[in-house]
Amino acid sequence: MRENPKRTTNSGNRHDRSSGLISPPPARQHTRVLPVFDVGANPHFAQVTLAAMDAQLSKPEGSYTPTNADALDSHLRTQLGDKADATLQGALATFEKMTPDAQAWLQNSLSRLDTSTASWVVGRLASVNRANGA
């Protein structure tokens, strides 16, 4: 019996023995929220961001403290100093390009992330804006 040249690894990644390449698993629930990053983001960049958000959102309630606007602003200012305002403006510019459904999903998700993860997502949104030459 011939072995399948493509198999799934323990991490869920697909390994193609003929090419030696490992590809990430197909997005589970991200297909419904991928439009969040349908604002000019690189698909891999979007998928990595959504996977990190999903990892945090999948944790049991009570295992971390969700963020709020003041904590997020404070964390960004501590981490980025005088670049915090530009980062927030870039993230807002990306946010404004999103559909209303994507905006609602993102706002809900950000409010359920811990402060560090939420600020990382804000930075990723700002990166999308910079990558698009805005």
Domain that holds residue 87: 27-131
Do the domain assignments include residue 19? Answer: no
Do the domain assignments include residue 12? Answer: no
Q: What is the mean pLDDT of residues 69-95?
A: 93
| pLDDT tens readout for residues 92-119 | 999 998 888 889 888 988 888 999 999 9
Do the domain assignments include residue 53? Answer: yes
| pTM for this entry | 0.69
Do the domain assignments include residue 18? Answer: no
Pairwise CA distance, residues 76 & 68, whole Å: 12
Do the domain assignments include residue 85? Answer: yes
Checking if the pLDDT of 69 tops 80, the result is: yes
Do the domain assignments include residue 5? Answer: no
Pairwise CA distance, residues 92 & 75, whole Å: 17
Do the domain assignments include residue 10? Answer: no
Identify the residue with better confidence: 9 or 91.
Answer: 91
Q: Which residues are CB-contacts of 121 (< 8 A; sequence separation ≥ 6)? A: 49, 52, 53, 110, 113
Number of structural domains found in the chain: 1
> What would the two tokens of residue 94 be?
């990306």
pLDDT of residue 134: 58
pLDDT of residue 9: 42
Do the domain assignments include residue 111? Answer: yes
